[in-house]
Amino acid sequence: MTAPSIEIPDRLNAASFFVDRNVAEGHGHKVAFFHEERTITYGQLQELTNRAGNALLDLGVEMEHRVLLLLLDCPEFVASFFGAIKIGAIPIPVNTMMRAQDYLYFLNDSRARVAIISQALLAEAGPILDQARYLKHVVVVGKAEGKQIGFDQWAGKAATRLEAADTSKDDAAFWLYSSGSTGFPKGAVHLQHDMVVCTDTYALGVLAMTERDRTFSAAKLFFAYGLGNNMYFPMRVGAQGVLHAHRPMPEAMFEVIDRHKPTIFFGVPTLYAAMLQVKEAERRFDCSSLRLCVSAGEALPPDLYKRWTERFKVELLDGIGTTEILHIFLSNRPGQLKPGSSGLPVPGYEAIIVDDEGKPVPRGEVGNLRVKGDSTMAYYWNKHEKTKASLFGEWIATGDKYYQDEDGFFWYCGRADDMLKVSGIWVSPVEVENTLVGHPAVLEAAVVGKEDTDKLVKPKAYVVLKDTYTGSPELEAELKGFVKDKIAPYKYPRWIEFVGELPKTATGKIQRFKLRQRD
């Protein structure tokens, strides 16, 4: 298949492309997003985007200044994101399930001047805002208190017309943070043209999206996956997105599908597994609007693929994307699909598998995946060594082990590092281990991935207790609760095994691979 020809002009402002163009092309009265009981048309979205951009200017935000977005999925997210980009500033959407200390890190690392926060998330983030060294203003979507600024009033008094900043296609547009196995999350710097490339390659090339589509993504907008699925993909073609601010619970997903009639649903394997547990779903809910379902974030086991497609009679496409490449670059396609594989390169991307020296391995052999495509981040902010370790000229190493079969299909074989993908979200074993060791009963801990009954990976902890403690179901429950309390709750170990000692190298490094083999 040939790559689509992407002609991107030298001067490009992504907000003009994704927001203003829809109005210029006559979609002004069309609903762009459904959100709870509300809808927002493309015309209203353009106005709210302009207001948000002007309101940021009113706060003294200039080109290249960073604006942190700690927002639940809502129209204000879209308007803040593109409002910032329109003035040449850099929005940074961050994970809404993190802890106060994570937010302090994001604020200080990015030196964000302004943070726009959903009221519901202030309970967690609020206490550290005063400690953020560069933060000058906090805007709250919802009820503001004290020095905080209320979004509605703030945007409401700003002007409705706004000229897009004269940015080049290679200006920084937005950042997304990605977790690493050791150390702090890395801010992947994405450019004005990256979202255009992802829509042209994947949304148009693979999903064949048109203005008749309606997307619904269980993955939230702050993930690179959700940002494309439910925001800039539909906006590329004047289609519609269904925003859902709540936790993606299986039953609720069906209710939204039944009510809003999306044509494409995007989820992660763990969610598909949970949705398959909903009794009588195919009879209780009308899913006939769906023309495609997409799975990404972690590998989709073939058994889940089979059960889903047989029961719901709709194709389920597994594809792999990364925050650094922004969206999906290897994917199965309707009529070109092997269950259990990640499919073929998306037209516009190239993929190779190399050994540890960077030389291509023979077909069929497992090696390290490298990808070439024009949506790849420019670099990691302030992380020069990590940037050099992942970018090789036009190629980026994804950190995944893969092999390619005789038909060219790519098969996922695990990570090159110890990182875990749990429900499609990064979990660093080191962070969970360090947290466990903070409990008075724990001497040492090692965390590895273990497959559950759906063949999906979840964290398991091996724990060595201090002399005076003995393992018990009560202590196991206590340790799980301890982790949930200290770090983002989704990272807690689903199983804990008490052991006498951990396998280690001569230099004392924990050999996680030996523990993985034990299971």
In terms of CB distance, is 95 or 110 closer to ligand 3UK? 95
Shortest Cβ contact with ligand 3UK: which residue?
321
* Nearest residue (CB) to ligand 3UK, 88 versus 269: 269
- C-alpha 41/C-alpha 240 separation (Å) is 9
Of 65 and 458, which CB lies nearer to ligand 3UK in the complex structure?
458
Give the separation between CA 386 and CA 408, rounded to whole angstroms. 30
Taking the least distance from each CB to ligand 3UK, the nearer of 378 and 499 is 378
Residue 56 or 317: which CB sits closer to ligand 3UK? 317
CB atoms within 10 A of CB 270: 24
Q: CB of residue 329 vs ligand 3UK: minimum separation in angstroms?
A: 9
CB contact set of 10 (below 8 Å; sequence gap of 6+): 168, 169
Instruction: Report the distance separating Cα 440 and Cα 462, nearest Å.
Output: 16
Residue 343 dihedral angles phi and psi, to the nearest 5°: 85, -150
Structure tokens at 430: 């080191």
- Chain residues in the site for ligand 3UK (CB under 6 A): 178, 224-225, 296-299, 318-323, 327-328, 342, 398-400, 412, 415, 421, 424, 426
CB of 369 to ligand 3UK, least distance (A): 8
Quote the tokens at residue 228.
């494309």
Nearer to ligand 3UK, 227 or 445 (CB): 227
Least distance CB 444 / ligand 3UK (angstroms): 27
> Whose Cβ is closer to ligand 3UK: residue 16's or residue 376's?
376
User: What is the smallest separation between the CB atom of 299 and ligand 3UK, expressed in angstroms?
Assistant: 4
**Closest CB 227 distance from ligand 3UK, rounded Å:** 8
Instruction: State in angstroms the smallest separation of the CB of 188 from ligand 3UK.
Output: 8
Q: How far is the CB of 321 from ligand 3UK (least distance, A)?
A: 2
Q: How far apart are CA 29 and CA 42, in angstroms?
A: 6
Joined together, the tokens standing for residue 129 give 């805002």
Closest CA to 69 of 53, 91, 97: 91
Q: Please report how close the Cβ of residue 145 comes to ligand 3UK at its closest, in angstroms.
A: 33
DSSP 8-state assignment for residue 229? I
Smallest distance, ligand 3UK to C-beta of residue 126, A: 27
For every residue of 50-93, DSSP letters joined together read HHHHHHHHHTT--TT-EEEEE--SSHHHHHHHHHHHHTT-EEEE
CB of 161 to ligand 3UK, least distance (A): 34
**Residue among 53 and 234 whose Cβ is closer to ligand 3UK:** 234
d(CA 244, CA 72): 8
Q: How many CA atoms lie within 13 A of 148 on its CB side?
A: 22
Q: Which is nearer to ligand 3UK, 124 or 318 (CB)?
A: 318
Do the beta carbons of residue 192 and residue 90 sit within 8 Å?
A: no
> Per residue in 17-52, is it b (16+ CB within 10 Å) or e — as a string?
bbbbbbbeeebbebbbbbbeeeebbbebbbbbbbbb
CA dist 108 and 401 (Å) reads 33
DSSP class of 357: T
Give the nearer residue to ligand 3UK in terms of CB position, either 112 or 224. Answer: 224
